[in-house]
Amino acid sequence: MFRILTDAIGTNNLMELHSADLIGWLESVWNNRSQATVQPPAGAPIQPRTVPAEPGRPYHRSTLLGLSQQWGAHAATQFRIATLNACVPGPIAPTRWNHLIYAYMIESTNMFEIFWTVLKETMLGERLGIPTIQAQWWLRTTEDLFFRTPSPFQISSVRGDLRPDDGATRRNAYHRLFGMELPNTGAAKPPAFLRAESANAEFVTVFEEFMREVWLAITNVGNTSGTNPTDPAKIADLAERLHDMLMARRQFGNLGREEFVAVATASWFHLSVESGFVWPANSSSPVVDFLRAEAFSAEERLAKIAQRTGVPAHARSRSLFEIADAISDLMVEIERGDYNSDNIANVRALYEDAPGATPEKRMRLIIRHWALLTGRDPKAAKVAATAPVEARVNGNGQKAGSPVSSFV
């Protein structure tokens, strides 16, 4: 969400807004999400099938309402409202935030733990140096948004006596929707979380089979002689299996609020490392400037911050950043049913490179970086053995009811 807003007003302007205004903007985004069946934005490469406006769909995550009152008493509030009207004008371009898998990819970089350490060190000592004025504002805003118990009336309030740890809440959601845990980067012991009995344990296996079939189609799209193993019906069947898994966990808008908070958190930290040079003017992230982590890419900036804090970043952070938005868009399309069996004509967009179309290019990117992250290449020929999974121990010291996968 924060990265969408930044496209309109610039990084520094966003990070200089009062935390109350940013909280109010999140409330407005939640309240302005569509509650009806909608078409994608103009220019989208494919058109989705008509689906009921049931809670859980990508444009209708939940029926839960947030606060309708306006927040903030600062001049920036009016600017925020104007920006909201430009970015989220209601039924014309309804609000849709990133899929939960975006938050999973960003958190897998270990960015949350790294920035938690930045806040702890700067607020309790001077090991990292004395923060600049701009960095102090960023630190205050970050603490207000993500490291402080929110008001019980805010849509972002998913912490309480039953769920005292935000990290455990996110891990629970990742496990339920994707059957995956966050990778072990060698940092501090991750928070224990309760694994639900109902989880999509087969998600990774089916998704990797989906990618394998799409890649087979990509490599044979220009085949004019001999046999062509491309099977659009099988791709559609696998897409529909993924659709059914994801929608089973999202019935009646379940997990919508948890996803909203996880994506907002990931978006803020992702935004914080997306810029890190003194040129052009007023475009650099204040925390990157303060920690002297200037570099040419987000993963290099994160690596420099990680080195300062002593908390390791994921070795494949570049792939995690590269895949995050692409796989989020793909999952939204799958949840809409764009590639289901009754919408099979759309499947060709996944493996045919058409002018101005993005699905085929996006699939190439996802397949490439998934292989780097997991060590399992969807381009490789299929073998009899299934994709490896790893049984872990839950917070009570017991084996999980179902195996889970994670990135290497």
In a domain, 360, yes or no: yes
Backbone phi, then psi, for 70, in 5-degree steps?
Answer: -80, 150
In a domain, 4, yes or no: no
pLDDT at 300: 94
In a domain, 240, yes or no: yes
In a domain, 200, yes or no: no
Cα(101)–Cα(242) distance, rounded to whole angstroms? 13
> Which pTM was predicted?
0.84
**Nearest by Cα to 189 from 405, 22, 397:** 397
Sign of CA dihedral 97, 103, 109, 112: positive
Q: What is the pLDDT of residues 136-176, one digit of tens each?
A: 988 998 998 888 877 666 776 777 667 767 888 899 999 99
Residue ranges making up the domain that contains 348: 210-252+320-374
Please give the tally of structural domains in the chain: 1
In a domain, 384, yes or no: no
pLDDT at 328: 95
Residue 157: Cβ within 10 Å count? 14
pLDDT at 4: 63
In a domain, 35, yes or no: no
Backbone phi, then psi, for 62, in 5-degree steps?
Answer: -160, 160
Cα(33)–Cα(27) distance, rounded to whole angstroms? 10
In a domain, 185, yes or no: no
Strand partners, 407: none
Cα(246)–Cα(388) distance, rounded to whole angstroms? 21
In a domain, 367, yes or no: yes
- Which stretches of the chain drop beneath a pLDDT of 70? 1, 4-13, 32-53, 65-95, 151-153, 156, 160-161, 164, 185-191, 226, 276-283, 383-408
pLDDT at 184: 75
pLDDT at 18: 78
Cα(50)–Cα(65) distance, rounded to whole angstroms? 25
